[in-house]
Amino acid sequence: MKKILTLVFVSVLGGIITLSAYKLFLEKESIVAVETSAEQPFFVPTNYESSNAHLVAAEHPSFVNAAEKTVDAVVHVKNTALVSAPMTMQDLFFGRQQSKRAQVGTGSGVIISPDGYIITNNHVISGSESISITLNDNKIYDAELIGTDEKTDIALLKVDAENDLPFITFGDSDAAKIGEWVLAVGNPFNLTSTVTAGIISAKARDLTGRNSQSFIQTDAAVNPGNSGGALVNSNGELVGINTAISSQTGSYIGYSFAVPSNIARKVVEDIIEFGNVQNGILGVSLLNKNSKEAIENGLNEINGVYVAEVTEQSGAEKAGIKTGDIIKKVDNIEISKFSDLSGYLKTKRPDDIVNVEIIRDDEIKTLPVALSKTDILTVEFMKMELKNLSEERKLKNDISYGVEVVRNNNDWLSENLGVSSKYIITDINNIKIKNIEDISILKQKFGANAEQYIKKIGLINKDGEREQFLIR
């Protein structure tokens, strides 16, 4: 019994000692640790869910209003062309001529005025014998082709409707920002009134590598049949005409491209007013940043474009732009590559004034430049595109006169005389050709039938050899 009482007493005593030690030492330290903490408690607000919903709405704006504004103004375009049918064995046996058959192509178009003007792509209506358009309410109209421009791939149609038609207003494509939400509205795969959404991925894209294009790039889904349809911003304003896709399959898997609305608008206005497109040029040649010369001289890293040559008698020369200048801006539009410059200039006409900001000798200057007509650069003559000789080519060929062939579409000259690009024309009918002004004089003198009057032509071929040909 005594042993049991002893064990109980020792246990109780041990518990008292342990509790006292805890209260005296451990609990006191815990209180100090809490009091010296600088951290603030985190409270989740009661309206957390509604705040989050607001953020989601801001990131993904509603396109309902934009779609309602535009879907009725985008039409289905049907192009009927006559193509040659394949020859059959029966045709050959009986000596029948090759027959023609109808081929139908489809695309989209955008109504831009209540009286029925419609923009589409040139490739949508190319080669057409007849064109019809179908509205979103399934009304069908015959369309008249007003004019086209192959370089920008824009065509203008016109329909006569009994009532005013719904239309889309033009937006400012220069003001569109990378990352901005856009809608593509069109008729892919003959599915009418289709709307897809994406963002602007890039601007001033050139798909040819020849600096001849300046597309808006977007990741909005565009498929065959969308060509000629509308690219609109969240306000329902037209910022582009959907034109091409980047895909290994021919259907959408990546990016699509649209002609900027500022370019499309200028093209159709020119077609309506002048019957053709009026192009204004600056009159400079730029150094390719990827060229060997640019890389060796560190010009591939400049922020702007480097002027390699200035065209004689151009607006750029008259304004004082010089070789070696770096163009930074045109009318406050940032210029970092040639397609930025060419895309903006496609919205201008000859004699328009643009303010060109350049850097020369580490100084910034702004020069007003009156844009020139394209014929100061090249002239079309006898199905050839000709330009003035550069000083480099004159020195290389030891000649002070002549014009260079840029492009030759004259089959007879190419097949019989071998004339191609880089050839130099030195004289025609024993008349020395100093520059393209002399070609313009001959063009006015002979008119469209110049080939009938040209009897002798002097050339310098690609090897620098002089040749004289009599044309009979």
Residues with active-site annotation: 123, 153, 227
Task: List the one residue out of 168, 64, 161 whose CA is nearest residue 109.
Answer: 168
Please answer whether residues 326 and 361 qualify as being in contact, where contact means their C-beta atoms are separated by less than 8 angstroms. no
Beta pairing partners, 195: 185
Please answer whether residues 399 and 460 qualify as being in contact, where contact means their C-beta atoms are separated by less than 8 angstroms. yes
Please answer whether residues 456 and 429 qualify as being in contact, where contact means their C-beta atoms are separated by less than 8 angstroms. yes
Task: List the one residue out of 239, 243, 282, 223 whose CA is nearest residue 149.
Answer: 243
Q: Output the CA–CA distances (angstroms, integers) from residue 414 to 43, 408, 409, 447, 467, in the order listed.
A: 82, 7, 8, 21, 14
The dihedral sign for the CA sequence 75, 80, 81, 83: positive
Strands (E) located in 345-383: 353-360, 363-370, 372-373, 378-381
* Phi, psi values for residue 211, rounded to 5°: 60, 35
* 3-state secondary structure (DSSP) of residue 362: coil
CB atoms within 10 A of CB 289: 16
Please answer whether residues 77 and 120 qualify as being in contact, where contact means their C-beta atoms are separated by less than 8 angstroms. yes
User: Tokens 């002089």 sit at which residue?
Assistant: 466
